[in-house]
Amino acid sequence: MAETLLVVRGLAKSFGALRATDGIDFEVREGETHAVIGPNGAGKTTFIKQLSGELRPDAGQVRFAGEDITALPAHRRSRKGLARSFQITSIYRDFSALDNVALAVQARAGHSFRFWRPAREDILLTQPARQALEKVGLGARADVLAANLAHGEQRQLEIALALATQPRLMLLDEPVAGMGSDESQRMIELLASLKGEKTVVLVEHDMDAVFSLADRISVLVYGRIIATGTPAEIRANAEVRAAYLGEDL
Amino acid sequence: MLTLLPPVAAALQEPFYLDLVRKVMIFAIAAASLNLILGYGGMVSFGHAAYLGIGGYAVGVLAFYGTTSGWVQWGVAIGASALVALAIGAVSIRTSGIYFIMITLAFTQMLYYLGISIEEYGGDDGMRIKARSDFSGLIDLGDPVAFYYLALVLMLACLFLVHRIANSRFGMVLRAAKSNEPRSRGIGFSPYAYRLVAFVIAGAMCGLAGAMFANHTSFITPEFMHWTRSGEIMFMVILGGIATTAGPLLGALVLLVVETLLAGWTEHWQAILGPLLVLSVLFFRRGLAGLMPGGKDG
Ligand SMILES: Nc1ncnc2c1ncn2[C@@H]1O[C@H](COP(=O)(O)OP(=O)(O)O)[C@@H](O)[C@H]1O
Ligand SMILES: [Mg+2]
């Protein structure tokens, strides 16, 4: 069996009286696409933020590649190979698409205390950046200002940013959210192309996307994981059906 | 164009213009240094005149004790400004928004009152500098034309330096942190160290402008560090065009020329200048550089 890349134990985070994540145990195997589903407000984004380091958990532990990273801030986790895309698109809007991705390449290339050579003429940055843009289907849009990209393209750019840091684990928070059907189809194809190359934690509402992409699915309800299993197992799970009453699994 | 001014001014027997443009160039250096942290780094420092003062006092105080070597004076001006910027930056960069503005302002006010309180160096009357900085006879700053060309060379060097830094890997990290800080953390950058280094570079560069300004006026006073001075430098940056290469020069030129014209016309020039500045900011959002072909560089 594949090695376990991420191990989460007892992760808890409260906002006042609200237990947004309430003792989550969770594992991600090297190479798998592990979907996390659950109703709105279940705590999925809060969970992802504790994995990426944006939020400090109240209790619990996060181990990544055998190392306890619970106390590390976001930028240190990123350097260790954890990349994240945001539910609400987060890109450098006043940079070109290429500059966006080149910056992520630069983050991977070590420190940036280099003051003289123009970064935009640095082939060590621009070439991998162009490759990442090609990969997500934005090859022809490299010089467009990120703010002027269509919504779907901005979501693709967000994936390119994560890819360009050469992560071992990608945390994708609703990459298909708010897309038209053509756009979401393209995004699903892109995510499918990552399968086997990247380990992915995929938070998603779009059930077509989830059931076609995921190797395993965890169901998060009221801050707790109520079931983990293959898509077939999850479909058959009575508790999950109850939580999704009315929704078509 | 600026290169040709001295012979033209000499022919017209109008040394005043030479003096004005030299002052413009010195302030262009100060504005360029602020542009690095404000324009590219998004750090709204409302205390940038502190380094003008430190640079100026380095020259004046050393001269007071008999050290007239320009190498020493200007070296101390730059070094002391860098150190003070390191201290102020280390504290203020942990904050953001209005707190950052207030802290940088507060530090500069402290230095201003320090200048006022030291009677030996003239207190709030300021102090005459008897001799200009002496560069081993290489350049005579007493010669207005030589000083003019030195200012021109140094200004071009500083504008170019800021341009290179802004477009380097370092500069891209700085601009990215201004554009979207959570994103930067998400891809692996912690902006603090980059911002602090930029803050120190800007302080050092403005310290150089301070050393030049003390030689320009042959006089130092706490007014160098007054908050209105900080505001003036900031206006130059905004008026000229934030995060543009030539903006600081354009901003310094227009602001100082308009100031001079208004001052010659009426005593209440500041009452007119204020609204003019507000209007200019409203109407040229991208500054004067944005009006020029190729002026809105990234
Ligand atoms: N910073 C916060 N402060 C207070 N409550 C929050 C905060 N972030 C999220 N919540 C609450 O925590 C719960 C889980 O939110 P979230 O993790 O965004 O859910 P999901 O992503 O599954 O829709 C929601 O009830 C939300 O209102
Ligand atoms: Mg969410």
Q: What is the pLDDT of residue B293?
A: 66
Residue where the block lists tokens 């983990």: A228
> What is the model's pLDDT at position B296?
47
Task: Find the closest chain A residue to B182 by CA distance.
Answer: A90
Task: Count structural domains, chain B.
Answer: 1
Considering every ligand atom, which ligand is closest to the CA of A55?
A: 1
Q: Is B183 on the interface with A (CB under 8 A)?
A: yes
Which atom of ligand 1 lies nearest, measured to the CA of A47? 17
CA distance B185 to A77: 9
Tell me the shortest Cα–Cα distance from B280 to chain A, in angstroms.
23
What type of residue sits at position B184? S
In whole angstroms, what is the distance from residue B131 CA to residue A46 CA?
66
Closest partner residue to A103 (CB to CB) among B164, B176, B194 is B176
Strands (E) across chain B are located at 127-128, 219-220
Q: How far is CA A165 from the centre of its chain?
A: 13
Residue B261 class from Cβ within 10 Å (0-12 exposed, 13-18 middle, 19+ buried)? exposed
The reply to whether B273 falls in a domain is no
Give the pLDDT score at B286. 77
Q: Given this model, what pLDDT does residue B171 score?
A: 98
* Rounded Cα–Cα distance for residues B50 and B108 (Å): 5
Give the nearest partner residue to A106 out of B169, B180, B186, using CB atoms: B169
β-pair partners for A21: A13
- Classify residue B220 by its DSSP letter: E
How high is the ipTM of this complex? 0.90
CB-nearest partner of A78 from B171, B180, B186: B186
* B120 located within any domain: yes
In this prediction, residue B298 carries a pLDDT of 44
Residue B293 counted as domain residue? no
Q: What is the pLDDT along chain B (298 residues), one digit of tens a residue?
A: 777 777 777 767 777 888 999 999 999 999 999 999 999 999 999 999 999 999 999 999 999 999 999 999 999 999 999 999 999 999 999 998 899 999 999 999 999 999 999 988 988 889 999 889 999 889 999 999 999 999 999 999 999 999 999 999 999 999 999 999 999 999 999 999 999 999 999 999 999 999 999 999 999 999 999 999 999 999 999 999 999 999 999 999 999 998 888 888 877 777 777 787 778 777 777 788 877 765 545 4
Please give the C-alpha separations between residue A71 and each of A51, B118, B149, B183, in angstroms, as whole numbers.
11, 49, 56, 20
**Could you tell me where in chain A the CATH 3.40.50.300 domains are found?**
1-81+169-249
pLDDT digits (tens, 9 = 90+) for A39-55: 999 999 999 999 999 99
Which residues 6+ apart lie within 8 Å of A18 measured at CB? Answer: none
Closest Cα partner for A246 from A39, A44, A42, A45? Answer: A39
Chain A residues with CB-CB distance to B197 below 8 A: 113
- Dig out the tokens for A165 from the structure: 């840091």
Q: Which residues contact B295 (CB under 8 A, 6 or more apart)?
A: B241, B244, B246, B247, B288, B289
Side-chain half-sphere of B90: how many Cα atoms within 13 Å? 5
Give the C-alpha distances (Å, rounded to integers) separating A159 from A179, A210, B238: 14, 17, 35
Q: Which of B179, B187, B297 to mutate to test the interface with A (most CBs of A within 10 A)?
A: B187
Average pLDDT, chain A: 93
Q: Whose CA is nearest to atom 25 of ligand 1?
A: A41
Please give the span between the terminal C-alpha atoms of chain A, in angstroms, as a whole number: 28
For the stretch A149-176, pLDDT in tens is: 999 999 999 999 999 999 999 999 999 9
Side chain identity, residue A191: L
**For B185, nearest residue in chain A (alpha carbons):** A75
Structure tokens at B162: 């800021």
With bands split at pLDDT 50, 70 and 90, how would you rate the model's confidence at A249? low
Question: Residue A82 C-alpha to ligand 2 middle, in angstroms?
Answer: 18
CA distance B233 to A115: 24
* Distance in angstroms (rounded) separating the CA atoms of residues A109 and A124: 9
What would the 3-class secondary structure string for B73-142 be? HHHHHHHHHHHHHHHHHHHHCCCCHHHHHHHHHHHHHHHHHHHHHCHHHCHHHCEECCCCCECCCCCECC
Give chain B positions within 8 Å (CB) of A93: 179-180
Q: What is the pLDDT of residues B194-239, one digit of tens each?
A: 999 999 999 999 999 999 999 999 999 999 999 999 999 999 999 9
Instruction: Tell me which fold the domain A1-81+169-249 belongs to.
Output: Rossmann fold (3.40.50)
In a domain, B54, yes or no: yes
Q: Which residue has the tokens 């190498």?
A: B71
A101-110, A238-247, B131-140: segment of lowest average pLDDT: A238-247
Q: How far is A90 from chain B (nearest CA, A)?
A: 6
Place of tokens 């070296």: B75
SS (H, E, C) chain A: CCCEEEEEEEEEEEECCEEEEEEEEEEEECCCEEEEECCCCCCHHHHHHHHHCCCCCCEEEEEECCEECCCCCHHHHHHCCEEEECCCCCCCCCCEHHHHHHHHHHHHCCCCCCCCCEHHHCHHHHHHHHHHHHHHCCHHHCCCEHHHCCHHHHHHHHHHHHHHCCCCEEEEECCCCCCCHHHHHHHHHHHHHHECCEEEEEECCCHHHHHHHCCEEEEEECCEEEEEECHHHHHHCHHHHHHCCCCCC
Q: Which of B140, B76, B118 is nearest to B222 (CA)?
A: B118
Chain B: nearest CA to A74, how far in angstroms? 6
How many CB contacts within 8 angstroms connect chain A with chain B? 96
B28 half-sphere exposure, CB direction, 13 A CA radius: 29
For residue A86, pLDDT beyond 70: yes
Q: Which residues contact B87 (CB under 8 A, 6 or more apart)?
A: none
Phi, psi angle pair for A215, to nearest 5°: -85, -40
Sheet containing A216-221: order of strands: A82-85, A169-173, A199-203, A33-37, A216-221, A224-229
Provide the domain limits for residue B198.
Answer: 23-226
Give the model confidence (pLDDT) of A175-194 as tens digits.
998 888 888 999 999 999 99
Q: Which residue has the higher pLDDT, B9 or A241?
A: A241
pTM above 0.80, yes or no: yes
Answer whether A79 sits within 8 Å of B197, measured CB to CB.
Answer: no
Q: Is residue B287 part of a domain?
A: no
Is B169 in contact with A112 (Cβ distance < 8 A)? yes
Report every protein residue that has its C-beta within 5 angstroms of ion ligand 2. A 44-45, 87
Residues 151-170 of B with CB under 8 A from A: 164-165, 167-170
Residues forming beta bridges with residue B128, ordered by sequence position = B219
Of A90, A102, A115, the CB nearest to B168: A115
Tell me how far the alpha carbon of residue A42 lies from the centroid of ligand 1, in angstroms.
8
Nearest to B112 by CA among B224, B233, B231: B224
pLDDT at A2 over 80: no
Chain B partners within 8 Å of A75 (Cβ) = 184-186, 188-190
